[in-house]
Structure 1
Amino acid sequence: MNTGGLQVEHEESLSGQVISLSGPLTVRELARLQTELTAVPRNPVIDLSGVTRIDTAGAWALADYEQRVAAQGGALRYRGASEAAELLLATVRRALPVPEPAPVAATGLTALFEATGRRVVGGLRFLRGLLEFLGMFLAGLFRVMIHPREFRVTALVAHCDDVGLRAVPIVSLMAFLIGVVLAFQGATQLRQFGAEVFVVDLIAISVLRELGILLTAIIVAGRTASAFCAAIGSMKMRQEIDAMRTLGLDPVTVLFVPRILALLLMLPILGLIADLTGLFGGALMSWIELGISPSMFRTRLVADTDISNVIVGLIKAPVFAVIIGVVGCHAGMQVKGDAESLGRQTSSAVVTAIFAVIVADALFSIFFAEVGL
């Protein structure tokens, strides 16, 4: 058969099928050669004595045919190959990729232990990444303390406005409604025992010690951690962070320190606002539902509420602020070059920040209970 200069003849012999090739065995004849080599006999013999020229494409087609014959349990032999053809075939064989066997999927308890181990290792790696970012923030903060000219006051003020001032309405409304709910539910339950006056203690301890700062931190986590992640992630997608490094600017000093420091300054203030509005909401509902006048509420509050409750709540604020800021900035730096990664990391930042804040609050509660505060 003569097609474009390549001649292919199939002969049957006692030792097996003989495929005789003659003419140029080049990339131009590749399609024809692959068509002729579709059948895979058990022990074929390829006669190359009539081949006038062979290139890498032709050698690859023969090497691929060798693999297909070997996969069927046979062996391919060559006859009449020139030294150059044998050398080229050997080179192409070495360059062919070796398929790796598919790993055997674990089942039963092995699969369960494997999945658990992978999650544990992934969680430890994530925790290590957060600790690394905490260390970078502390190092950057120490650096700007030593070199105040590198500190970006304008960025700090802008982030304080965004993190603190603009969050006041939603934090105040949330705390006010929490105070209202506590007073209403407390009045409903305490009225059964004639102990309505103790609703003041319930509101004061709940708001000042736990709910005021905790719910404020949760709202700030959902609002600010996502904003930090989206802003830094967008900058990374547009390669602005690489441009900063090229210009000799440290992203830690420019991006991380002002944001986390703004949270450190504003979250205690937001916590105080939440405490005041929560007490106001509780006092208003106590007046409406129980007839406890504002003066009586204030007297009971001052007489029976220890200042340690306020201190306990405010001690938590800086820790919550650092957690939220570090989680948001870390998630932003994990964004890849596509919008899907940005959305995934933003959602992850919110969930992780809220979960970490709740865990930290639980640890604080245990610690303060143990020390008697």
Structure 2
Amino acid sequence: MPKEWITREGETLALRGEWTLEHYPMLKQELGKAAGDSAPEVTLEGFERLDTAGAALLIDLVGVERARNVDEWADALPEAQRALIKRIAEAMDVSLEIDTGSSNRLTLMLASIGENVEGLWRQQHQLLGFVGLVLATLLPVMINPKRWRVTATVAHIQQSGLNAVPIVMLLTFMVGAVVAFLGATVLESFGATVYTINLVAFSFLREFGVLLAAILLAGRTASAFTAQLGAMKSSEEIDALKALGLDPIELLVLPRIMAMLVSLPLLAFIGMFSGLLGGAVVSAVSLDIPFSQFMNTVQNSIPLHHFLVGLSKAPVFAFVIAVIGCLEGFKVAGSAQSVGAHTTSSVVQSIFMVILIDAMAALFFMEMGW
């Protein structure tokens, strides 16, 4: 680099020429020799070329604060070069101190609670928005049979419904047996063990049959929906569908929702029957109540509306579980860690919403006298 590009005139350095990355090592060496120990005054007579490397050297020489005010003392420079110097100075003017925040535990706890509440509000807001989007897409599809995705819906019915029958039957059978054991133990002291039949029938027809089936599908199917859609989101398959002019809601979400609306009521019915069967087996073995007496008592003493009340909750649970599972799948950011986090979130949200809706429905039906 020619030395006349840096000219010392007393305590002042006049800078000119090409200040680019190509000459960076030579510029840095010559500046070290010319500047000395003290920060000199600098005049800029015009650079032939100036890039970010040269601007950074200039800022190291004059300081960040003066570089940010370059318009005041170097108005002879072209506007583009002055803008570059100011931009680099602003980028270099970053504090390296880390704010550790307040050490007050009460403040930290309240802040954490506030963040969680705000996150819950955003989550529910997104869920309501997604429900509206699904319903807006569902209505035009329902009135146009040509747009029904029958093959995809049947495939999801097999995956979410038919394949879940064994686990639903086994679980509800065992819970029915446990309820019968508990009822017999409590009612035996009152000499009313025969009412164990009523206890098992009421609990499974109104609550346990549909609730256990919904919780199982929330853990089994909602997670599967999230993982499937999350994997598609990560591999940009959903973006490809949009590029082809296809609606991901219609193509991916609606078949899953329709499959759940078909599967969960059937699984709830199977769960009710299996729970009653478990109670009947325990009653026959432990209480010497024949199976025929058990079924006659259920038929004659349990009104039909208890069965209808329990079954009426199944479509609501199915819709909520499917919507949450699909929404969390669309929220996946693209990494394997994000897929796992949203899969866990979908299971937790689904189970929470199922239990919350069931509790609200129980209070409503009790007030209505149903």
Q: Is TM more than 0.5 here?
A: yes
Aligned equivalent of 1:46, options 36, 42, 49: 42
In the alignment, structure 1 residue 298 sits paired with structure 2 residue 295: yes
Cα distance in 2 between the residues matched to 1:372 and 1:308: 11
Match of 1:95 in 2: 87
In the alignment, structure 1 residue 242 sits paired with structure 2 residue 239: yes
What CA deviation, in whole Å up to 9, does each residue of 1:83-123 have, x standing for no partner?
A: 44x76762333322354778794675665555444333322
Cα distance in 2 between the residues matched to 1:194 and 1:52: 104
Q: Which amino acid aligns with 1:178?
A: V
Identity of aligned residues (%): 40
For structure 1, the residue ranges without an aligned partner over 5 or more in a row are none
Cα distance in 2 between the residues matched to 1:325 and 1:166: 17
Contact 1:241 1:251 in 2 (8 A): yes
Matches within 5 A, 1:273-312: 273-312=270-309
* SS of equivalent residue, structure 1 residue 194: coil
Cα distance in 1 between the residues matched to 2:278 and 2:352: 27
Aligned equivalent of 2:339, options 339, 342, 348: 342
Cα distance in 2 between the residues matched to 1:24 and 1:54: 5
C-alpha displacement of 1:127? 1.4
The structure-2 alpha-carbon separation of the partners of 1:19 and 1:301, relative to structure 1 and needing over 3 Å to count, comes to: same
Q: Which amino acid aligns with 2:323?
A: V
In the alignment, structure 1 residue 65 sits paired with structure 2 residue 61: yes
* TM-score, with structure 1 as normaliser: 0.84
* SS of equivalent residue, structure 1 residue 221: helix
Q: Which amino acid aligns with 2:311?
A: L
Q: Which amino acid aligns with 2:283?
A: S
The structure-2 alpha-carbon separation of the partners of 1:23 and 1:309, relative to structure 1 and needing over 3 Å to count, comes to: closer
C-alpha displacement of 1:131? 1.6
Cα distance in 2 between the residues matched to 1:315 and 1:291: 34
C-alpha displacement of 1:175? 0.6
The structure-2 alpha-carbon separation of the partners of 1:67 and 1:270, relative to structure 1 and needing over 3 Å to count, comes to: same
For structure 1, which segment, 338-347 or 30-39, has the greater mean C-alpha deviation from structure 2 after superposition? 30-39
Aligned equivalent of 1:190, options 166, 187, 190: 187
Contact 2:172 2:272 in 1 (8 A): yes
Cα distance in 2 between the residues matched to 1:124 and 1:317: 26
For structure 2, the residue ranges without an aligned partner over 5 or more in a row are none
For structure 1, which segment, 242-251 or 173-182, has the greater mean C-alpha deviation from structure 2 after superposition? 242-251
Contact 1:187 1:196 in 2 (8 A): yes
C-alpha displacement of 1:355? 0.7
C-alpha displacement of 1:174? 0.5
Match of 1:357 in 2: 354
Cα distance in 2 between the residues matched to 1:163 and 1:53: 70
For structure 1, which segment, 97-106 or 56-65, has the greater mean C-alpha deviation from structure 2 after superposition? 97-106
C-alpha displacement of 1:193? 2.2
In the alignment, structure 1 residue 27 sits paired with structure 2 residue 21: yes
Cα distance in 1 between the residues matched to 2:193 and 2:296: 15
The structure-2 alpha-carbon separation of the partners of 1:116 and 1:37, relative to structure 1 and needing over 3 Å to count, comes to: farther
Q: Which amino acid aligns with 1:255?
A: L
Contact 2:50 2:81 in 1 (8 A): no
Q: Which amino acid aligns with 1:329?
A: C
For structure 1, which segment, 168-177 or 335-344, has the greater mean C-alpha deviation from structure 2 after superposition? 335-344
The structure-2 alpha-carbon separation of the partners of 1:243 and 1:8, relative to structure 1 and needing over 3 Å to count, comes to: closer
* SS of equivalent residue, structure 1 residue 193: coil
Contact 2:176 2:277 in 1 (8 A): yes
The structure-2 alpha-carbon separation of the partners of 1:60 and 1:270, relative to structure 1 and needing over 3 Å to count, comes to: same
Matches within 5 A, 1:224-239: 224-239=221-236
